Structure 1
Amino acid sequence: MLDDFSNQAKQVSINKSELVKEIEERSKEYEEPPQNAKIDKVWKKTPGRNGIKVNIEKSLENMKDVGEFNKSLLVFEQVEPDIKLDDLPASPIYRGHPDKRMVTLLINVAWGTENIPSILNTLKKHKVKANFFIEGKWARNNTQLVKMIKEEGHLIGNHAFNHPDMKHLTKKENEEQIVKTNEILKAITGDTPKWFAPPSGSFTDEVVKTAAELEMETVLWSVDTVDWQKPTTSVMINRVMSKIHPGAMVLMHPTKVIEQGLDELILNIIQNEYKIGTIERLLSEKR
């Protein structure tokens, strides 16, 4: 009887050893190394992406009752890259990682006040969080709307104080535009913005460095609705969907065409199997 138990224990040990070996061998098929953040020649500051590896012990625990290898029972872990976005020198950001099937909506606000409540309702309906880059002067005159945007869980960024062409300002004037707006937004929301969108996308290396000195990232876009030209809803949606891509940063404003077409645009993006999140989620290394 004891010999039977001993033989069974040996067999279990052998089977376990063989299963561990198979998991270790087969896991190589599914593992991917992490990718470091980098300064791309075209897209400038580009986030990295976590790698994935198999947790051998947890995978074995999942498979021990089955007694054989099963891909669906593998347990994966994410591996962070060595170089992250924060480690890179000052540079503008145009898009997320090209393998991340997520997009973000950048809503630059300096006017269009009457359309914002409806836009917020549409975002809430779809449980989508967007980014509102808000002009300081507008924020000062519309504190309740700024609070509403914050309460709805959207990211609030800095869009300078009075929509200047920052390319033609001195370093001191650029700093004043950003700092003054940060002070206004912090007074309203309690938080200092970490993201800066230069008005009209006009900037120089000095503008980007000035923002970086204030511990802020400069944000641009890879897909433009061109909504200020007052296109029809279908033209706006077709324009976006023809250029949408993994990691896309979609520029828009609180225009009438966005107020009327945002619902359909979000549905189109989701139907094309993209997730929509804030810029912080998009630029995170997480898969």
Structure 2
Amino acid sequence: MAFMILLVVAYQTEPNPFQMNKMENLAAPVSSMSKKDQSLYNEIKRKSEEYKEEPQNAVIDKVWKKTPGLNGLKVDVKKSFNRMKEKGEFDESLLVFKQIKPEVTLEDLPPAPIYRGNPDKQMVSFLINVSWGGEYIPSILQTLKKNNVKATFFVEGQWAKKNPDLLKMIKEEGHVIGNHAYNHPDMKRLSQAESTQQIQKTNDIIKAIIGTKPKWFAPPSGSFNNGVVEGASTLQMETLLWTVDTIDWRKPTKSVMVNRVMANIQPGAMILMHPTPVIEKGLNDLISKIKQKNLKIGTVDKLLTEKRY
């Protein structure tokens, strides 16, 4: 929507008939309302159905595999009326919405890889895989900070062990830290026990440095099998791939990299990149063009929740 809306999360509980009747009475226009106010209230109530959006359950898509759901929207008639009362007329931009959670969330689904967020969520995420290129990270962090953008950095265990100060810097800037295995193995060639060991070892290193354990795992080179996904799940982690690849490792020009991403970007996209010269040079332009498409850029923590932002 081009207009601004105020979102209020509505948590679903078991209905209590007495409480429901009480709330309905509170929300209804009282007899002391002027005819003008009653008319406005009724108009909001009548038009509220036009803005209603049903919640979407998380699903296992045939192509995109594990896909998060999305909260539904419902106009809060009483709060919308209170915002419009002074103006005295219906104003779409003053509508207040409740968010309604879906019945099935990502956590309810069996283990499966995740390639994107919900395609109806107007947000994308940067996935920055780190096993080399530490010299470019401070500059990349500056660009992200300048644009008020948070990313998700998936760090290799042995890299984190050698670069604890850089890892702390990333964390202190407010970015999310993910797991990128210990030493960049071809994960699909490992047994489930071996792949789980790779993930666990890296979790231990990351937690020792920044105090928290990652909840997201990105397999090196996108190499995985069912055992990798199952192993990550036993550690209460999700396995993430990507929607759009910057192919920065091929050393494209800045314009080629930016144009490639913009030609393939879509709501819910997860954009893969690394700390490379072309990302250092082109990240600012990429962020600008994404924002011009009215897409927000958030961490995977935000992208993969049902909540609307």
What TM-score, normalized by structure 2, do the two folds share? 0.85
Matching residue's letter, 2:118: H
1:234 and 1:65 mapped to 2: Cα distance?
50
Shift of 1:30: 1.1
Q: Name 1:126's counterpart in structure 2.
A: 147
Shift of 1:25: 2.1
Matching residue's letter, 1:171: Q
Shift of 1:65: 5.0
- Which secondary structure does the structure 1 equivalent of 2:104 belong to? coil
Alignment partner of 1:243 is 2:264: yes
1:89 and 1:161 mapped to 2: Cα distance?
25
Shift of 1:21: 3.9
Alignment partner of 1:77 is 2:106: no
Alignment partner of 1:200 is 2:217: no
Q: Structure 2 matches for 1:186-265, cutoff 5 A?
A: 186-265=207-286
For residue 159 of structure 1, the aligned residue among 180, 184, 195 is 180
Matching residue's letter, 2:192: K
Matching residue's letter, 2:221: S
1:70 and 1:178 mapped to 2: Cα distance?
52
Alignment partner of 1:280 is 2:280: no
Matching residue's letter, 2:218: A
Q: Name 1:3's counterpart in structure 2.
A: none
1:67 and 1:115 mapped to 2: Cα distance?
55
| 1:201-237 alpha-carbon deviations (Å, 9 max, x no partner) | 0001111011011000000000001111111111111
| 1:22-66 alpha-carbon deviations (Å, 9 max, x no partner) | 332221111111111111111111111111111122233334455
Shift of 1:267: 1.5
Q: Name 1:4's counterpart in structure 2.
A: none
Q: After superposing the two structures, state which structure 1 stretch, 99-108 or 190-199, moved more.
A: 99-108
Matching residue's letter, 1:116: I
| Structure 1: 5+ residue stretches without partners | 1-8
- Which secondary structure does the structure 2 equivalent of 1:28 belong to? helix
Q: Name 2:76's counterpart in structure 1.
A: 55
* Contact 2:191–2:227 (Cα < 8 Å) also in 1: no
Aligned residues: CA RMSD? 1.8
Q: Name 2:164's counterpart in structure 1.
A: 143
Matching residue's letter, 1:43: W
| 1:222-279 alpha-carbon deviations (Å, 9 max, x no partner) | 0001111111111111111111111110001111111121122111212222111101
Shift of 1:12: 4.1
Shift of 1:141: 0.5
2:228 and 2:35 mapped to 1: Cα distance?
65
Matching residue's letter, 2:68: P
For residue 115 of structure 1, the aligned residue among 136, 140, 146 is 136
What TM-score, normalized by structure 1, do the two folds share? 0.92
1:172 and 1:33 mapped to 2: Cα distance?
41
Q: 1:244 to 1:31 in 2, by over 3 A?
A: same
Q: Give percent identity, aligned residues only.
A: 63
Shift of 1:72: 4.0
User: How many corresponding residue pairs?
Assistant: 279
Q: 1:190 to 1:11 in 2, by over 3 A?
A: closer
2:66 and 2:38 mapped to 1: Cα distance?
46
For residue 88 of structure 1, the aligned residue among 93, 101, 109 is 109
Q: Name 2:10's counterpart in structure 1.
A: none
Shift of 1:161: 0.3
Q: After superposing the two structures, state which structure 1 stretch, 79-88 or 177-186, moved more.
A: 79-88
Q: Name 2:60's counterpart in structure 1.
A: 39
1:262 and 1:158 mapped to 2: Cα distance?
22
Q: 1:29 to 1:206 in 2, by over 3 A?
A: same
- Which secondary structure does the structure 2 equivalent of 1:286 belong to? coil
2:130 and 2:31 mapped to 1: Cα distance?
70
Shift of 1:78: 1.1
